[in-house]
Amino acid sequence: MDRKTPLIVITGPTGSGKTGLALELAGTYPIEVISADSMQIYRYMDIATAKPDEQERSLLPHHLIDVVDPDEEFNAGIFATLAREKISQVYAAKKIPIVVGGTGLYIKALIFGLIPAPAGSERLRAYLRSLAASRGSRHLWDVLARLDPPSAGKITPNDSARIIRYLEIVFLTGERPSMLQDGHGFALPLFDTRIACIMPQRQELYQAIDNRVYRMLDLGLVDETEQLIRRGYSPSLRSMQTLAYKHVLSYLSHETGLDEAVSLIQRDTRRYAKRQITWIRAHHAPQTCYDPAAARPVIARWLDDILASC
């Protein structure tokens, strides 16, 4: 592969219909999906992560789903490495890979590579997490704002994961993350990339999210969470503290009622979708954003172009 290798990306907020669109295209085109979803990489976490089911995967192969256990490490760098390998394999099999998912950092790492930064220090990270727990993430953001104002300006005081990572880089290397990013540039993509950001109307998106949470409950979300606990996965794991699982765990420990847990899952998922939209608008040009109905013919033209060049 080189910078001339074509790569189609379908991204957008959770609940925007990315997987459904890919399934529609699979009826006409020889495509396979490279999943760019930071939760679907975990085994045993199916319902809460809205993974495509067995029937959908039989119609359209999905790669980078069920890659690691819920207590294993996974990050954007690992994703980018595995995704590039899968893209090569799919092309070698005379199929067309399409990256589908809403984890913006994974997609950015795949297309542009990552800045040269040190591996994380678990000891330092644990200390920073304890500070965030005791004094709030705003305190850590204030520290970052003094040490590296440009990096702090790109994130909110509530984004504790990125605040901690930026502070790790500062403390481990003495370098500002913003300087490393400027040096990297993110200017030259590693592929001939065509991106479609699926952006439904906000009210439609929120309704789709609320309905999806009800479907998750019907499919057995509570039982799935109980099974994860029975498998020995701690409720304190990062993978268990995301969106749906966190509130189901509160329900199972009798801290909330089921109706309240469902309402909180819906609320947090809507907030997550809003953050994804903010990321998309910050990292992708407006002309890459499409109404769901308008996206299909555009992507179909891209696929026709790729097939014509093979």
How far is residue 270's CA from residue 14's CA, in Å, rounded to a whole number? 8
Q: Check residue 188 and report its DSSP letter.
A: S
Residues of the chain with CATH 3.40.50.300: 6-113+186-309
- 115 pLDDT higher than 70: no
- The pLDDT mean for the chain works out to 92
Q: Does domain 6-113+186-309 have CATH number 3.40.50.300?
A: yes
How far is residue 63's CA from residue 112's CA, in Å, rounded to a whole number? 20
Q: What percent of the chain has pLDDT over 70?
A: 95
Of the candidate ranges 120-124, 167-171, 245-249, the one whose mean pLDDT is the lowest: 120-124
Residues of the chain with CATH 1.10.20.140: 122-184
As a whole number, mean pLDDT of residues 37-44 equals 97
Q: With contact defined as beta carbons under 8 Å apart, do 142 and 153 qualify? A: no
How far is residue 192's CA from residue 210's CA, in Å, rounded to a whole number? 36
Fold of 122-184: Histone, subunit A (1.10.20)
pTM recorded for the entire structure: 0.82
SS3 99: strand
Taking alpha carbons only, the member of 307, 308, 290, 205 closest to residue 9 is 290
Q: In this predicted model, what pLDDT tens digit does every residue of 120-129 receive, in sequence order?
A: 678 888 899 9
- 130 pLDDT higher than 70: yes
Confidence of residue 162 (pLDDT cuts 50, 70, 90): confident
- CB atoms < 10 A from the CB of 65, how many? 19
As a whole number, mean pLDDT of residues 281-302 equals 94
